[in-house]
A and B are shown apart, each in its own frame.
Chain A
Amino acid sequence: EDKVVQSPLSLVVHEGDTVTLNCSYEVTNFRSLLWYKQEKKAPTFLFMLTSSGIEKKSGRLSSILDKKELFSILNITATQTGDSAIYLCAVSSGGSNYKLTFGKGTLLTVNP
């Protein structure tokens, strides 16, 4: 059975701190790994990673995938209170099914 494990499950930091969120996976026929940010409603798409070692970057957020070690990290630098959310890691696998297997998420709280 496909498995995605995120750590830590929760994290509390102060504004300005840098955080690293982890995601490891065990899936058959890996296709891609996706990061989402979930606040009150819809998970919003952040990154999709398919190739090892290539960093994706968007403002203060960046992510990288290691397909050999089967994990990904999401970095957030100079955190702001608006970064407070659940960060979800999901893996698309299983040939051409395209369904996503999600981790439990990391609840990030950024205090002023």
Chain B
Amino acid sequence: GEEVAQTPKHLVRGEGQKAKLYCAPIKGHSYVFWYQQVLKNEFKFLISFQNENVFDETGMPKERFSAKCLPNSPCSLEIQATKLEDSAVYFCASSQLGGLAGARDTQYFGPGTRLTVL
């Protein structure tokens, strides 16, 4: 599609439950990025993919968080055993591989998934 799509819009989980978020990048984009925004503060980078390969996972918490981008499927971000501090808006963004210089730097964002952990 022409926009980054994220589902669901809202997700409510009790502490300890699993949460799974999905992202479909813009058609033709090869890079996918996940960011976490807690309480309208800064975006925190989590992980990026180039196609189905992990590109940079330096922002991912070591425990409980995992992500995948499989061929012909939306990308996913999964949080096992959610905690209160995981409550945030999770944004997905995508960018092109080729094109004009700087194309890879221009990330287009989805509407986000608001995760509330009770």
Contacts and interface: CB of A to CB of B under 8 A. Distances in A.
Nearest to B47: A99
B48 A50 contact: no
Given A42-B91, A48-B102, A100 B107 contact: yes
A98 B102 CA distance: 10
B108 interface: yes
B4 interface: yes
B106 A48 contact: yes
Nearest to A98: B104
B105 A43 contact: no
B59 A31 contact: no
Contacts of A99: 33, 45, 48, 56, 58-59
A97 B107 CA distance: 13
Interface in B1-47: 4, 31, 33, 35, 40-43, 45
Contacts of A23: none
A44 B48 CA distance: 19
Interface residues of B, number: 28
A36 B35 CA distance: 15
Interface string B48-76: 10000001101100000000000000000
A50 B42 contact: no
A100 B55 CA distance: 14
Contacts of B45: 99-101
A41 interface: yes
Interface of B: 4, 31, 33, 35, 40-43, 45, 48, 55-56, 58-59, 91, 93, 95, 101-102, 104-112
28 contacts: A34-B106, A34-B107, A41-B111, A41-B112, A42-B4, A42-B91, A42-B112, A43-B91, A44-B109, A45-B106, A45-B107, A45-B109, A48-B105, A50-B101, A88-B43, A92-B105, A98-B31, A98-B33, A98-B55, A98-B56, A98-B105, A99-B45, A100-B35, A100-B45, A100-B93, A101-B45, A102-B35, A105-B42
Interface of A: 31-32, 34, 36, 41-45, 48, 50, 86, 88, 90, 92, 97-105
